[in-house]
Structure 1
Amino acid sequence: MVTTPVDRLRPGDHACLTYTDQDERLDILAAFVSAGRDRGDRVMCFTDAVSADDLRADLVQRGLAAGSDVSVQPSDRLWDDGAVEAPTAAAMVELLARELQRARADGYHGLRITADMCWAARPQANAEQLLVFESEVGKLFADGRLTAICEYDRESFDPVTLGYAARVHRRTVAATVYHEDPVLRICRQHVPPGVRVAGELDYTRAGVLSDALAEAVRLDQDVHVNLNQLRFLDAGAATVILRTAANLPSGRRMVVVCAEPVERTLTVAGAADVPGLRMLVRDRER
């Protein structure tokens, strides 16, 4: 199985996403949805871990306005149009085959599916149906019109099931990671484009932070720095962020999303003196 950045998935790919970080999961899903829209696909997102309304709101927050080409539904719609019934692989594969035909009839280039597989961890679910589904659904990808990501929360599934999921998917999707150690993770954010940082960040890792930000400056018009999951930021690392924002070419800006303690550190380090910097502090803006 090949690990592929989400923006490099090709039509007809059947990919697996295993995750523990909800922000990373949402970012990958948003990038998948955005790419489908750009290509002229119809997109269906089946969600279990969070409600359909919450997932719609998350996509909108990432700049993906609702539209007829994107459908977000609870995962039980996969097998019985929302009726209270145990999931069966046959019903799920049949529904996806119908939706693929409908997308073609409606003039879409193809169909993109994201499926939250947490339904299989429910008490009433038959775990064997998950294994059958992943095996049987592969037949729908033959003509390249169906592209899908099956999502597995590592905290909901045992290692044997996760290992099986890895084997039956041709590809796995994951974020591009710039740095990872026991206390810090820095990776690429796709939507909106930029960098996501989680854990604790101090001056000793200023170099890897600077390298990640430099790539974002090279790739993106505006640089979005997601610090929502950052627990600690020291003055040395804050200076790297502010220096990058201050050196952006005219007309470009940096948008930092963070919690109040991180905002305070950036403010003390001189954020107010950087005209190209905008800070979003959880539910309020500065």
Structure 2
Amino acid sequence: MPTQRGSGPVRGHVCQGYRRRAEFTARARDFLAAGLAAGERVLYVAPGDEATLIAQLRETGRFDAGLRRGAVLVSSVDSTYTTGTVVDPAGQVRLYAAATEEALAAGFTGLRVAADATSLVRTPAQLDAFARYEHLVDRYMAAHPMSAMCGYDLTELGDDAVAQLACMHPVAHEGATPFHLHGHAGAGTVAALAGELDSAVRRLWPLALERADLRAAPGLIAIDAGDLGFMDHRSLFAVADYAERHAKTVVLRTRLTTPGRLLGLFDLTGVRVEGVS
């Protein structure tokens, strides 16, 4: 479920895989309805024209009043994104940041989006760029009143492709990914890391590290790994390799004792482990 930030409304950035389109539509309605109840403006993005999308929301009757007063918006995925091309991660984040500011200026508490992004990640280049975007927009959401549910068709894309996207979200459907590398609003920390890093993520973990573009942060790359439950030596090697290639020092702040012992055992450089309570 989405996490609660402070005393405000429940927010989250959720990766929602589905095998039937109706399954995502139903989950999107629930997600958006929670936003309406919290005073947010909500946006539904999916394939189809405006009339089709409005009809999908109106099946339960929860959105009629919101549609009339401008609290509920719909948009074809082709209008919100440029389908068939590779997304510009920074440019897309700027668009959502502007929409969030517009919602706040109109008196809403924030912006909540439910978007079926399946058509935007069909090629390897699209998948790579969109995974980068997912992490970048999560950084924005960690510090601003925006929430999102991102839908992906598991049957069309496959579990492996969706895992590459799910690991860039703080929350995902069950079994989507063993770990989450996502945005963090804490001072001096560029990302948060949760879950488990074992042999199952030998390919996925280095890929996520690279796509998160943590090297863009000045100085140390500090990662809040307080919710990390396990880290094997190969995963730590991947962090050391990342640090060496980008001439950076990565600081892992974790409750685990194993990473610190492994650092001493293998004499790895470019990585520092700091304990947290």
- State the TM-score, normalizing by the size of structure 2: 0.53
Higher relative CO (Cα under 8 Å, sequence separation at least 6) belongs to 1
| Separation in 2, partners of 1:76, 1:129 | 17
Matches of residues 1-286 of structure 1 in structure 2 within 5 Å?
A: 4=1, 11-48=10-47, 50-63=48-61, 64-65=63-64, 66-67=67-68, 68-79=70-81, 86-122=86-122, 126-143=126-143, 145-172=145-172
Q: Percent sequence identity over matched residues? A: 25
| Separation in 1, partners of 2:55, 2:137 | 29
SS in 2 for 1:142: helix
Is the 8 Å Cα contact of residues 12 and 171 (structure 2) preserved in structure 1? yes
Shift of residue 119, structure 1, vs aligned partner: 2.5
Is the 8 Å Cα contact of residues 154 and 162 (structure 1) preserved in structure 2? yes
Deviation track 1:95-136 (CA, whole Å, cap 9, x = no partner) reads 001111111111101110112111224569732221111111
Is the 8 Å Cα contact of residues 41 and 108 (structure 1) preserved in structure 2? yes
Evaluate the alpha carbon distance shift between residue 27 and residue 126 of structure 1 in structure 2; reply closer, same or farther with a 3 A threshold: closer
- State the TM-score, normalizing by the size of structure 1: 0.52
Counterpart position of 2:195: none
Is the 8 Å Cα contact of residues 41 and 111 (structure 2) preserved in structure 1? yes
Unaligned runs of 5+ in 2: 4-8, 175-277
Evaluate the alpha carbon distance shift between residue 12 and residue 76 of structure 1 in structure 2; reply closer, same or farther with a 3 A threshold: same
| Separation in 1, partners of 2:60, 2:113 | 19
Q: What amino acid does structure 2 have at the position aligned with 1:38?
A: A
Shift of residue 158, structure 1, vs aligned partner: 2.7
| Separation in 2, partners of 1:100, 1:158 | 32
SS in 2 for 1:44: strand
| Separation in 2, partners of 1:121, 1:52 | 22
Unaligned runs of 5+ in 1: 175-286
Shift of residue 173, structure 1, vs aligned partner: 5.0
SS in 2 for 1:62: coil
Is the 8 Å Cα contact of residues 41 and 112 (structure 1) preserved in structure 2? yes
Larger strand proportion of the pair: 1
| Separation in 1, partners of 2:169, 2:72 | 24
| Separation in 1, partners of 2:124, 2:141 | 29
Kindly tell me the number of residue pairs found equivalent between the two proteins: 167
Q: What amino acid does structure 2 have at the position aligned with 1:31?
A: D
| Separation in 2, partners of 1:40, 1:173 | 25
Deviation track 1:161-220 (CA, whole Å, cap 9, x = no partner) reads 21122211111257xxxxxxxxxxxxxxxxxxxxxxxxxxxxxxxxxxxxxxxxxxxxxx
| Separation in 2, partners of 1:104, 1:163 | 33
Evaluate the alpha carbon distance shift between residue 104 and residue 173 of structure 1 in structure 2; reply closer, same or farther with a 3 A threshold: farther
| Separation in 1, partners of 2:141, 2:121 | 25
Shift of residue 11, structure 1, vs aligned partner: 3.0
